[in-house]
């Protein structure tokens, strides 16, 4: 049995978490100007150094807009958010994903897979496609939902690498935590065997260069999860 490492968040992490939660919940509306660093420091009982570092990090994610000699304002993170905002959104509400977030992740996953299939069928060599087999075998041998979900992520990450698109695997990796979490839930609901057989079918069709069939199968698979009999939305 594996146990997760316990760690205490820093004051900066707590500062950021509180502000992000206020933004994501709507308590701090888009366009709102934050109090000065001195006021925030006094109200939240942390140093101005922590406030300054926290604001800078949140600005880097796209949550805040720093306007020199004017102030700090809440950004429309859905329009100006960066990759770093993704995990903040996923961790909002204690990491309990809402239906909208789950659906968004699944739709992006489907888009990644469809693009990967197109690129691999057109460009990848047989030898490159065969590098997927060890990942597929690892998925087959998975004994619990956690290990199966991680193996499934590794398989699809390798799929992105084979496309030779330099950005695709990097973008896919940025979603690793929520993607693995969702596939673990899927495995618990429908079984690791189901995941393996579905992935094997995708691999077989790609290896046989049946791009259209592989894409049709992928869309069918995701539609069953999005709106069909194998949904994974929480209560």
Confidence of residue 42 (pLDDT cuts 50, 70, 90): very high
> Model pTM greater than 0.85?
no
| Region of 96 on the Ramachandran plot (φ > 0 left; ψ -120 to 50 alpha; else beta) | beta
Is there a single domain that holds both residue 147 and residue 193? yes
Is residue 9 scored above 70 in pLDDT? yes
Assign residue 16 the CATH number of its domain.
Answer: 1.10.10.10
Which residue, 49, 72, 46, 70, is CA-closest to 59? 72
Domain count, the chain: 2
Q: What is the pLDDT of residue 96?
A: 63
Domain boundary among 63, 86, 109: 86
Q: What is the pLDDT of residue 3?
A: 60
Is residue 168 in some structural domain? yes
Is there a single domain that holds both residue 104 and residue 219? yes
Structural domain that includes position 101: 97-226
Is there a single domain that holds both residue 76 and residue 132? no
Separation between Cα atoms, residue 112 and residue 60, nearest integer Å: 25
CB atoms within 10 A of CB 116: 26
Domain boundary among 23, 54, 86: 86
- Compute the CA torsion angle 63, 67, 71, 72 (nearest 10 deg): 0
pLDDT mean over 82-100: 71
């Amino acid at each position: 049995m594996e146990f997760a490492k316990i760690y205490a968040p820093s004051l900066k992490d707590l500062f950021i978490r509180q502000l992000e939660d206020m933004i994501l919940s709507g308590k701090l509306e888009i366009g709102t100007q934050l109090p000065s660093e001195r006021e925030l420091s006094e109200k939240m009982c942390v140093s101005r150094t922590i406030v300054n570092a926290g604001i800078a990090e949140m600005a880097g994610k796209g949550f805040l807009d720093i306007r020199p000699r004017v102030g700090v304002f809440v950004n429309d993170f859905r329009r100006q958010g960066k990759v770093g905002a993704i995990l903040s959104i996923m961790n909002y509400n204690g990491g309990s994903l809402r239906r909208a977030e789950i659906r968004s992740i699944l739709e992006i996953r489907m888009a990644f897979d469809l693009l990967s299939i197109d690129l691999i069928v057109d460009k990848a060599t047989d030898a490159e496609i065969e590098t997927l087999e060890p990942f597929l075998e690892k998925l087959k041998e998975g004994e619990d939902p956690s290990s199966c979900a991680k193996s499934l992520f590794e398989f699809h990450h390798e799929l992105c690498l084979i496309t030779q698109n330099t950005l695709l695997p990097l973008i896919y990796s940025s979603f690793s935590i929520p993607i693995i979490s969702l596939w673990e839930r899927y495995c618990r609901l429908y079984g690791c065997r189901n995941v393996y057989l579905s992935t094997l079918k995708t691999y077989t069709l790609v290896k046989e260069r049946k791009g259209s069939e592989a894409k049709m199968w992928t869309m069918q698979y995701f539609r069953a999860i999005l709106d069909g009999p194998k949904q994974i939305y929480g209560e």
